[in-house]
């Protein structure tokens, strides 16, 4: 079984948000998709159907689809409700927004939304801020996971549209994530992209807090900064954390590119070459996602 723990749901709401920044207020999904060379998403139901057809084509059992701008929680919730066996929903969240508490409560009342995604560098909210602790309090109360983006942060659509990205990378420190995670041991905490340039710190954080998992998603271009190969990264992570603390992901996002099978093929080949047995691979490429994030417990 393959389960992808990290993909993006680029809905009409996503494009409306970007459209306001570039001055496109009508049919932003069509206009901006054209500029980007992507297919327009259609409505949330149609985009969910497209994703499920794509997953079926590649024999992927499930994926986490992230609503990728604050305020777009309903799109991922709609997708998860439409295809509950195939789609788990997640949502980007700005904890310092004026309506944050009400939005978070409403989102966590939706059963399909399994994870809240924090981008401290993007939203310039330190992880020791009271508003972030409120997110963890709510996640603990509702049995949800928290994703915290650390390290290098690059949003391809923003770059292509010429939008600025005034991110404060100092705020995306895995060690700050560990300080929070140890206070909320029941909350699964996901650090994506192996820490995205803070690999050493991500491993330290995961050793300090056993509820932290690392996801493997994207091409992991940050590895050039640390002069590491994908084999190095997997080898060190498996040695230090074992196979139960890794979540396979691709960072797939737009169509017509669709699901990024090449990322899966490369990662599977690396893990196989490292000598991981079938049981370990089953955990990394699907079992951990079902057990920890979605809550499925296959026999």
Percent of the chain clearing pLDDT 90 (strictly above)? 96
Both structure tokens of 129: 């801020």
The pLDDT-based confidence of 59 (bands split at 50, 70, 90) is: very high
The order of strands in the sheet holding 87-93 is 3-9, 62-67, 87-93, 113-118, 145-148, 189-191, 212-215, 246-247
Q: Specify the pLDDT at position 294.
A: 87
**Whole-number Cα distances in Å, 257 to 121, 133, 220, 252:** 28, 37, 18, 8
pTM: 0.97
Tens of pLDDT, residues 177-206: 999 999 999 999 999 999 999 999 999 999
Nearest to 66 by CA among 12, 2, 110, 11: 11
* Domain annotation for the chain: domains and CATH numbers: 3-294 (3.20.20.140)
Tens of pLDDT, residues 264-292: 999 999 999 999 999 999 999 999 999 99
HSE, CB side, 13 Å, CA atoms: give it for residue 135: 32
Task: Report, as an integer, the average pLDDT of 3-19.
Answer: 98
C-beta of residue 33 within 8 angstroms of C-beta of residue 11? no
Cα radius of gyration (the chain): 18
C-beta of residue 238 within 8 angstroms of C-beta of residue 276? yes
Tens of pLDDT, residues 226-266: 999 999 999 999 999 999 999 999 999 999 999 999 999 99
pLDDT of residue 296 exceeding 90, the answer is no
Tens of pLDDT, residues 138-179: 999 999 999 999 999 999 999 999 999 999 999 999 999 999
The pLDDT-based confidence of 98 (bands split at 50, 70, 90) is: very high
Q: Specify the pLDDT at position 295.
A: 80
Contacts of 101 (CB under 8 A, 6+ apart): 134
Average pLDDT of the chain, as a whole number: 96
């Amino acid at each position: 079984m393959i389960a992808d723990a990290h993909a993006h749901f680029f809905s009409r709401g996503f494009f409306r948000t970007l459209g306001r920044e570039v001055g496109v207020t009508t049919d932003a999904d069509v206009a901006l998709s054209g500029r980007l060379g992507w297919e327009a998403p259609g409505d949330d139901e149609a985009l969910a159907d497209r994703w499920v057809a794509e997953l079926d084509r590649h024999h992927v059992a499930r994926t986490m689809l992230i609503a990728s701008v604050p305020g777009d929680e309903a799109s991922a919730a709609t997708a998860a409700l439409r295809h509950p066996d195939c789609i788990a929903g997640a949502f980007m969240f700005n904890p310092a927004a004026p309506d944050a508490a009400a939005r978070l409560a409403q989102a966590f009342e939706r059963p399909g939304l399994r994870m809240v995604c924090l981008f401290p560098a993007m939203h310039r909210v330190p992880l020791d801020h009271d508003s972030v602790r409120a997110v963890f309090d709510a996640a603990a109360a509702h049995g949800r996971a928290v994703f915290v983006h650390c390290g290098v942060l690059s949003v391809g659509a923003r770059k292509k549209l010429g939008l600025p990205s005034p991110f404060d990378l100092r705020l995306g420190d895995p060690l700050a994530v560990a300080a929070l995670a140890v206070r909320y041991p029941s909350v699964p905490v996901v650090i994506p992209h192996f820490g995205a340039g803070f690999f050493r710190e991500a491993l330290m954080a995961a050793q300090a807090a056993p509820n932290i998992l690392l996801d493997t998603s994207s091409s992991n271009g940050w590895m050039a900064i640390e002069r590491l190969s994908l084999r190095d990264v997997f080898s060190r992570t498996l040695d230090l954390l074992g196979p139960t603390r890794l979540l396979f992901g691709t960072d797939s996002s737009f169509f017509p590119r669709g699901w990024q099978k090449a990322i899966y093929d490369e990662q599977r080949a690396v893990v196989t070459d490292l000598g991981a047995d079938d049981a370990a691979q089953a955990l990394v490429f699907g079992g951990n996602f079902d057990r920890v994030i979605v809550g499925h417990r296959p026999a």
